[in-house]
Amino acid sequence: MSATAFIEARDFLLAHREDYETAYRDFRWPVLDRFNWALDCFDPIARGNDRPGLWIVDEGGDETKLSFAELAKRSSRVANHLRALGVRRGDRLLMMLGNVAPLWECMLAAMKLGAVIIPATTLLNRDDLLDSVRARPGPSRRRERRQRRQIRRPPRRLYKGRGGRDGARLAKLGGRL
């Protein structure tokens, strides 16, 4: 199983983290025929795990804490929502989020679906977003026009998080890779 090979390789490096010669000489990259880190590693670790998995302290000192189990559950909910909207493996998702819990939930959700995450600063304006769509290689003119229309209108909120302006703004910006 690929997840087992990944974990064994990780454990080997951790065991030899202070012995560079052995780590360099004996490490072998695992063969990963089918592997999804979010599903194969994160979710099993998160199952029933109430230890803190995410702890964010914002500029005002407010804290957001989520356990591993909560992150797994919430990211699965987001993944199911994105799947219902038509997001599939290889689709690109532009994420404009500050350091808020929905950022991490959406990243895990995208990983679970095999979607490609395009991180973007919340400082981007409409023209910046249009440029990023135009700069992407290979879009058809028809798809590009559709994407420009989507950007002219505010992006549809797919997941509402705390953080006001930084609440999750996620726009699906493209077809398959």
Q: Which residues contact 54 (CB under 8 A, 6 or more apart)?
A: 64, 65, 66, 71, 101, 104
For the cut 80, the answer to whether the pLDDT of residue 139 exceeds it is no
Dist CA 58 CA 168 (whole Å): 16
User: What does residue 137 show for φ and ψ, rounded to 5 degrees?
Assistant: -70, 140
Tens digit of pLDDT for each residue in 56-104? 998 899 999 999 999 999 999 999 999 998 899 988 888 888 899 999 9
The CATH number given to 36-172 is 3.40.50.980
Where are the domains positioned within the chain? 1-35, 36-172
On whether the CB atoms of residues 150 and 174 are closer than 8 A, the answer is no
Count the Cβ atoms, other than its own, within 10 Å of residue 113: 22
For residue 168, what pLDDT is reported?
A: 37
Is the pTM higher than 0.85? The answer reads no
On whether the CB atoms of residues 148 and 63 are closer than 8 A, the answer is no
pLDDT level of residue 1 (50, 70, 90 thresholds) = low
For residue 164, what pLDDT is reported?
A: 39
Tens digit of pLDDT for each residue in 26-63? 999 998 888 899 999 999 999 999 999 999 998 899 99
What does the CA dihedral 66, 67, 71, 74 come to, rounded to 10 degrees? -70
Of residues 42, 113, 110, 105, the one with CA closest to residue 74: 105
Least confident of 3-12, 130-139, 143-152: 143-152
Residue that the structure tokens 């890779």 belong to:
177
Identify the residue with better confidence: 151 or 14: 14
For residue 144, what pLDDT is reported?
A: 54
For residue 145, what pLDDT is reported?
A: 58
pLDDT level of residue 146 (50, 70, 90 thresholds) = low
- Cα 163 to Cα 40, 58, 63, 99, 168, distances in angstroms: 30, 10, 12, 9, 8
